[in-house]
Amino acid sequence: MRSTTPSPAHPVDLSAARRVAVDAAAAAGRLLAAGVGEPLNARPKGTGGDVVTDLDTAAEELIVGRLRAAYPGHRIIAEEAGVLQGEPDEEMVWLVDPLDGTNNVAIGMPVYAVGLALCARAEPVLGVVHDPVTG
């Protein structure tokens, strides 16, 4: 079992990071669940047939705000906005997918999730996937 306290290998308390990530994902999930079924303002994203909606950006802003408040020195890379803070060689990097399954939501299929990951020195050390439909 890995240690959850800060160490040279993981310069962050993983238990605290997990709480922040789970809380952020759950809050974003509540926002998404409340918005599904409402007008989505879906627009094309890239050339692969994907779309992005106002729900994607709202959930991303919520998650990023919580991560910034808890970890102002960490780099954040978010699906919709890209790199939001931090340097390329940052030791701690958060990866955020605020709405995995946007195309499903856009066609009314309730199959989607919120995903967050934390990497320490380019190695994944924490992952959270929240399903707003089933909790």
**pTM of the full structure:** 0.85
Residue 4 lies in a domain: no
Q: Is the pLDDT of residue 32 over 90?
A: yes
Residue 94 lies in a domain: yes
Residue 71 lies in a domain: yes
Higher pLDDT, 122 or 5: 122
Residue 135 lies in a domain: no
Share of the chain above pLDDT 90, in %: 56
**How many domains, in total, are found in the chain?**
1
The whole domain housing 55 covers: 14-130
Q: What is the predicted pLDDT for the residue at 9? A: 55
Residue 111 maps to which CATH number? 3.30.540.10
d(C-alpha 7, C-alpha 45), whole Å? 40
Q: Is the pLDDT of residue 3 over 50?
A: no
d(C-alpha 78, C-alpha 89), whole Å? 17
